Structure 1
Amino acid sequence: MKKTFAFVINNPAYFISHRLAIGLSLLEQGHEVYVIGPGCCPQGLQEQGFIFQSVSMSRKGKNPFSELNTIFELYKLFKRIKPDVVHLVTIKPYLYGGIAARLAGVPAVVSAVAGLGTLFNENTFKYRFLRAALYPLYRFAFGHKNQKLIFQNDDDRTLLLDWLKISNEKPVLIRGSGVSLQDYPVVPEQANHEPIVALASRLLKDKGVAEFVEACNILQQRGVKARYWLIGSPDAGNSNTALRI
């Protein structure tokens, strides 16, 4: 039976890098798949059979009227396309999309909590106040009666479940988004090859970039012969971007 799925993301490129395989599988099964996010449709996405819908969503935006408008746009879109399942990926989508999905009567919701962000990483008065102010919104966004929450580490799962008193039936713990081993096959190490110490990541402070650089400096001071690779790029849409290390 044909169903309609809607992926909501804060960056269309993230869908391609982290959810494309799931979307293609749904298309192969004959389902209709929407990709919803800010900006323009990535090149080649519609040619593969996806339907792209642009919404106003700023990753760093804090204007309450703009943020409410994002929720309203998602609500109107859900009412129009009537998805059977919405898959919400990253913080604003799982918060705003979760609210809009409940208001629009979407039958099923998947909220992928890849991380909790600065709101939960910092414990200053400002962030404690923000957590208290946003608590009702989180409760509503994660209160759908037919919802699964996907976590990638046990700390995030424990923190959010304890904070919101969420049922133990909702959370699912996975090891990560994963990659296709056909695209990234294992290859044998080269003989007598100088060791490579690498961190592959967006260049964000909360990804451990500064700690990686510090560790590399310590190893060099100890005379450890290796090559040190920091693989990634700055993320201008994230306030934790490590532009200078």
Structure 2
Amino acid sequence: MKKLLIVVNVDWAFISHRLIIAEHAVRNGWEVYVATNDTGRAMEIIDKGIKFIPVNISRSGTNILQEIRTIFQFYNIYSQIRPDVVHHVTFKPVIYGSIISKLLGIKGTLNAISGLGYNFTSNRRGFVQNMMIILMKFGFRQKNLAVIFQNEDDYREVLSLGVINKNNKINFIKGSGVNLDLFRYTPPVKKEKLQILLPTRMLWDKGVAELREASNILKHKYRDSVMFILSGIADNDNNAGVSDKYLKDWEEPNYVKWIGFVKDMPEVYSASDIVVLPSYREGIPKSLIEACAAGRPIVTTNSIGCKECVDEGINGYKVPIKSTVELAVAIEKLILSESDRLIMGKKSREKAEKEFSEITVVNHHLKIYNNLLNIDWVKK
């Protein structure tokens, strides 16, 4: 049986973005292992017939001793499992895992670069970033390595860093896809207040502060007719994490409510009227492709990753990064026009059906796995 090892920072991110791929790999004859941090959701993975390996991957900080321990954990896991294909997701698994797979001669390596993340926002470039680039260059120089990018901008940036080489097989996949049956189009429900939804982990780089300022700009006109809903965890393990205190201070009865992590996101989208994500950069944000599938108009930034989810004036609006006034103006346009919200919401659904189908993403991944082993793949 072919062995597939997926390495990702944390279990909930795997469940949200890659579980469906692993499930289909199992159905197609792969023995699948997942190595990730266990935050208490391991059984959700094990129940799908996937072997779970707990590993301590720090998502913040650069404690050298901790990083060395992580590298040794990777080495031991790869040595014991001897996977045919290893799939790395997010930067530390990509960097450390590529080096280990190269040293051990793993048959096929797949690196998913879903946005360059915190370390490459706001023109951050210092010793840590330069070391990451050096390590990536070394790890990527192997004969049978494929890379997945979610957008052309990330590909061009990584290419400019000299990380990509002629042997790497480049693939473009628009995000992790969305289940079009689970996230169904539902007409907006008439209610006392319009709901404006921010569905994301609460990180500064997601534009949380900018949305707070925009909500303050709109407050004097719309506090009696609009409700801002913040749906997502306060990610305290992330360097860009917004504190619980900040979110609770922002809350205001009948105007701003932070509901934290919600498992039933289709219901949250269904209750919303407008979806907002003022992020600084993304790969392809899952929250926006889910918003498209649910048929909601979107206000986002013209940043890398976000701009791919909105056709300007068709299914929403794009504003400059960190532009609070323009953000408030775009939100107000949708507040004032029920017909625009309805038309744009339907266009969002059409876009999801055309570009973001989960099954298309799954099939593309399975094809890559098999191509790394020079096996012809037939869908099952």
The TM tier, using the shorter chain, reads 0.7 to 0.9
State how 1:90-101 maps to structure 2 within 5 Å. Answer: 90-101=90-101
Residue 28 of structure 1 aligns with which residue? 27
Q: Cα distance, 1:152 vs. partner?
A: 2.5
Equivalence for 2:230: 230
Task: Give the equivalent residue in structure 1 for 2:182.
Answer: 183
Q: Which stretch shifts more, 7-16 or 191-200?
A: 191-200
Show the 5 A alignment for 1:84-233. 84-123=84-123, 127-167=125-165, 170-191=169-190, 194-221=193-220, 223=222, 225-233=225-233
What is the alpha-carbon distance in structure 2 between the residues aligned to residue 165 and residue 19 of structure 1?
A: 25
| Structure 1 or 2: more helix by fraction | 2
1:160–1:195 distance in 2 versus 1, CA, 3 Å: same
Query: Paired residues, what number?
Result: 242
Higher relative contact order (Cα pairs below 8 Å, separated by 6+ residues): 2
- What root-mean-square deviation, in Å, do the aligned CA atoms of Structure 1 and Structure 2 show? 2.3
Q: C-alpha offsets along residues 208-237 of structure 1, whole Å, 9 cap, x if unaligned? A: 211222222223345584322221111121
| 2:42 alignment partner, SS class | coil
CA positional deviation for 1:191: 4.4
Tell whether 2:49 aligns with 1:38.
Answer: no
- Could you say if the C-alpha distance between residues 12 and 194 of structure 1 is closer, same or farther in structure 2, counting changes exceeding 3 Å? same
CA distance in 1, matches of 2:219, 2:151: 31
| 2:147 partner amino acid | L
Q: Distance in 2 between matches of 1:228 and 1:56?
A: 36
Runs of at least 5 residues in structure 2 that lack an aligned partner in the other structure: 248-380
Per-residue deviation, 1:118: 2.6
1:60 aligns with 2:76: no
- Which is further off, 206-215 or 98-107? 206-215
Compute the TM-score of the two structures, normalised by the length of structure 2.
Answer: 0.59
Is the contact between residue 196 and residue 227 of structure 1 (CA under 8 Å) also seen in structure 2? yes
Q: What 5-or-longer segments of structure 1 have no aligned partner?
A: none
The answer to whether the Cα contact below 8 Å between 1:89 and 1:112 also exists between their aligned partners in 2 is yes
SS of 1:219's partner is helix
In 1: Cα distance, 2:159 partner to 2:221 partner: 43
Native 8 Å contact 2:9 2:57 kept in 1: yes
Q: CA deviation at 1:206?
A: 0.9
Q: Distance in 2 between matches of 1:150 and 1:19?
A: 13
Q: Distance in 1 between matches of 2:214 and 2:149?
A: 28
Instruction: Say if 1:58 and 1:65 are closer, same or farther in 2 by CA, change over 3 A.
Output: same
CA distance in 2, matches of 1:241, 1:36: 24
Large movers: runs of 4+ above 6 Å: none
In 2, the alpha carbon distance for the partners of 1:67 and 1:129 equals: 16
Counterpart CA distance in 1 for 2:155 and 2:212 is: 29
1:156, CA displacement in angstroms? 2.2
The answer to whether the 8 Å contact 1:41/1:52 transfers is no
AA matched with 2:67: E
Moved more, 135-144 or 29-38: 135-144
Please give the per-residue CA displacement for 1:154-209, whole angstroms capped at 9, x wherever unaligned: 33222111112524763323322222122221111234774332221000111121
Query: 1:5: which partner in 2?
Result: 4
Q: CA deviation at 1:66?
A: 2.2
Q: Which moved more, 1:19-28 or 1:43-52?
A: 43-52
- Change in CA separation of 1:193 and 1:110 when aligned onto 2, cut-off 3 Å: farther
Superposed CA offset, 1:38-88 (max 9, x none): 346612422321111122322224222321222222122212211111111
* Greater C-alpha radius of gyration: 2
**Structure 2 Cα separation of the partners of residues 229 and 47 of structure 1:** 32
| 1: CA distance, partners of 2:235 / 2:35 | 20
